[in-house]
Structure 1
Amino acid sequence: MPALTGWRQRAAAYLPDIPHTRPHEWLRASIGASLAFLLSAITCGLLFGSSVALHFAGPWAASAFLLFAVSSGALAQPWSVIGSYLCASLVALLLGFWLPAGVVSAALALGLSLLLMYPLRCLHPPGGALAFCMVFAAPLPGEPAWMAPLPAICGGLVLVLLAVLFNNLTRMPYPRQRTIQKDDHHTRDPAPGERVGIQAEDLDQALDELGAFVDITRDDLERLVRSTERHALRRSMGDTRARQMMSRDLVCAAPETPVRDALRLLVKHHLKALPILDEERRLVGIVSLVDLLAPRRKGGRFKRLLGSLGLRRDRVLGQVMSSPVLHVEADAHAVELIPLLSDRGLHCLPVLEGGELVGVITQTDLIAALHRDLLAHLG
């Protein structure tokens, strides 16, 4: 029986994994790859001749495949494409000075190009095919040898440009942007949600232990792990929604409410923020105690000091409120509220249903809900 199980495991390694893409993404990628390859070949054909364009058609087609089918992968980023093309061209040109064009020189060009791409962080498989093609790409009569790579590199640039345009127009962000965490507290501490659980150092160590190239950017890997954590937490918390946690008896104000009256409301009801509604009861803004005591406006240090001392209480809330307001829907899951009320540093979140303000969730409400969930698991 153990032998049979081991055989099944080995056999399963040859079977494809379940795809996590949708048919509309397949269609999007196929249309983009076809158009990009066609336009790249036409452009280079007009500039350098159709025979030259056909000579490099193979690497271009493979690059187009990666740029549109797996545009989020590390192998498909702009530097990977252009850098690999440059490496392949440089290696092929240098070998051409000492070795005649043939299978041996092509194999050397392939291996040396790969060796150069690793430290330069531009690994791109079609670059290996380009190295092979470049060995047999003789310059035109009367042209210097360094002119031979121009058509290939030109085609690569066209492919990257079209990938940037097409992918972003079809709502596929390209190239992948590095994630920069917003520092709302202006301290060196990581965001509250990143102080426990998996951290950036853990990902780096795991990648080092793997010891092999992984075709996924580190930022995408971190997003994937944290998204998995959120889904697991959401499953464990059941169906706790915003409507179950929110406060319903609300204290609100209008844009015409004087700052001095808003201060009295905050102190009387022990609130940290005050929703602002217009005449039609629509949420148009929100003010906190900080907004009221130190209105955000341009001016010198003396003017800001006067505001912090509360000497501008003659102003109205419409002049100091924050707008638009970050809010959640009544059906939002509790897990969606955690990063908003912790990492973003918000003290409360307005809750809307059908565009109407129906409640407010504070950090205290969220803590109470998490406490109830913890007691349920311990019980």
Structure 2
Amino acid sequence: MPYKAFLPALPPTHRKECLLGALGAALGLIGTELLCQFLLGIRPHWLIAPMGASAVLLFAAPASPLAQPWSLIVGNTLSALVGVSCAILIDNVVLSSGVAVMMAIALMLLTRSLHPPGGAVALSAVIGGPEISALAFQYVLAPVAINSALLLLIALLFNRLAGRRYPNYTPLSSPHHTSDLLPSQRVGTREEDIAYALKQQEQLLDISPQDLQHVLQDAQRHAQEQNLSTLRCADVMSRSIVSINAQNSGSDAWNKLAYHRVQALPVVDSAEKLVGIVTLHDLMVDPHTQQARSTLEMNKPLADLMTAAVHTAAPQQALLELVPLFSDGGLHHLPIIANGELVGMITQSDIVAVLALYAAHNLNEMT
């Protein structure tokens, strides 16, 4: 067996995460103690030892599937129920301990609620001493279920204040408010590919399918960046810019869009400085009411119709930095600014053309 198998398997942890994990666990356990002992009057078993292990997961590894609310509540509660049952039905402590942990693990796996501290919860029900034994099935509710619920509430609050995502679930959101996947998730490694790969693993992997997909996408993006990192916005942008003045009307913009067969125009002031962008959507739909604009509104100056908050980029900016803005951010057009002046435009078509050429080049190299 290689010696590296005995070296740390976890990647290095950021100092901020180290501090948050340690501080959160302390606050979680102290908070659970105070709530149980002083508000609920639960004594003397206001806090059981396995909660220390649960705190490690909820605060130091909140992204782990083993730390999610379902695993914490269901895993600990089922384990407590199994532990008490084994303590009552099996007189031999050694046999009872082994069977309790065995059954707890089996039930947690079957209910997809695996929570490592659950094994300690089941064992504590058997060897916790006369005070635990006297509680019998009350042990399941108080302290186990109540401890777990209070620790979860504190973890939800702490992780939210710390800017962490907990529970670790990210619903897919489209900028177009549809059920379609984001463009970056429609090709390459898909959700069903991840699910298939995880089913092929003989051992349980402590990572959610969503996180695993994000890791793979980041790795693929990094690999692409190594090959495309030399491309800059200036290499692909349009330099013959069709723009319009902010004092022109909506009708002027409509005619210009139709003539040049484009869907957006950068809007400039008298000094040719970018002040906004106007699209077909801006001319057709009022962004405040979401209603179709009337014909009379087309006579308004573009300063009243355009979108003033505009994403921009610099000529020497890496082209790949813009891909997420176009693919998942919903942008279609991006003005390029140098020294305050409008020097170019990049559209989705430009991005698609570059990526298509890159893909074709890779295929040629493979063949």
Query: Which bin holds the TM-score, normalised by the shorter protein?
Result: 0.7 to 0.9
What corresponds to 1:215 in structure 2?
206
What corresponds to 2:254 in structure 1?
263
What corresponds to 1:45 in structure 2?
37
Aligned counterpart in structure 2 of residue 291 of structure 1, from 282, 294, 299:
282
- Measured after TM superposition, the shift of residue 257 of structure 1 is 3.2
- CA shift digits 1:99-157 (9 cap, x unpaired): 34833323222111111111222111011111111333767999784365322222222
Aligned counterpart in structure 2 of residue 62 of structure 1, from 38, 53, 67:
53
What corresponds to 1:228 in structure 2?
219
- Contact map agreement 2:282 2:306 (CA 8 A) in 1: yes
Spell out the pairing of 1:7-156 with structure 2 (5 A cutoff).
Answer: 7=1, 10-17=2-9, 19-46=11-38, 47-48=40-41, 51-53=44-46, 56=48, 58-100=49-91, 102-135=93-126, 136=128, 145-146=137-138, 149-156=141-148
**Percent of aligned positions with the same letter in both sequences?**
33
What corresponds to 2:351 in structure 1?
366
Relative to 1, partners in 2 of residues 1:83 and 1:277: Cα closer, same or farther, differing over 3 Å? farther
- CA shift digits 1:255-281 (9 cap, x unpaired): 553110112332344432123456897
What corresponds to 1:335 in structure 2?
320
- Contact map agreement 1:91 1:113 (CA 8 A) in 2: yes
Relative to 1, partners in 2 of residues 1:185 and 1:162: Cα closer, same or farther, differing over 3 Å? closer
Distance 2:163 2:340 in 1: 27
Distance 2:20 2:339 in 1: 34
Distance 1:311 1:280 in 2: 28
Distance 1:76 1:51 in 2: 27
- CA shift digits 1:215-250 (9 cap, x unpaired): 111111111111111111001113222243333554
**Under a length normalisation based on structure 1, what TM-score does the superposition of the two structures give?**
0.80
- Contact map agreement 1:85 1:127 (CA 8 A) in 2: yes
- Measured after TM superposition, the shift of residue 62 of structure 1 is 0.7
Aligned counterpart in structure 1 of residue 230 of structure 2, from 239, 252, 268:
239
User: Which secondary structure state, in structure 1, belongs to the residue aligned with residue 6 of structure 2?
Assistant: coil
- Contact map agreement 2:87 2:125 (CA 8 A) in 1: no
- CA shift digits 1:145-192 (9 cap, x unpaired): 43653222222222222222222222222111234141739586x554
- Measured after TM superposition, the shift of residue 207 of structure 1 is 0.6
Number of residue equivalences: 362
Relative to 1, partners in 2 of residues 1:266 and 1:159: Cα closer, same or farther, differing over 3 Å? same
Aligned: 1:175 with 2:167: yes
Distance 1:119 1:91 in 2: 14
- Contact map agreement 1:139 1:145 (CA 8 A) in 2: no
- Measured after TM superposition, the shift of residue 61 of structure 1 is 0.8
**Under a length normalisation based on structure 2, what TM-score does the superposition of the two structures give?**
0.83
User: Which secondary structure state, in structure 1, belongs to the residue aligned with residue 277 of structure 2?
Assistant: strand
User: Which secondary structure state, in structure 2, belongs to the residue aligned with residue 72 of structure 1?
Assistant: coil
What corresponds to 2:194 in structure 1?
203
Q: CA RMSD of the aligned region, Å?
A: 3.5
Distance 2:356 2:170 in 1: 35
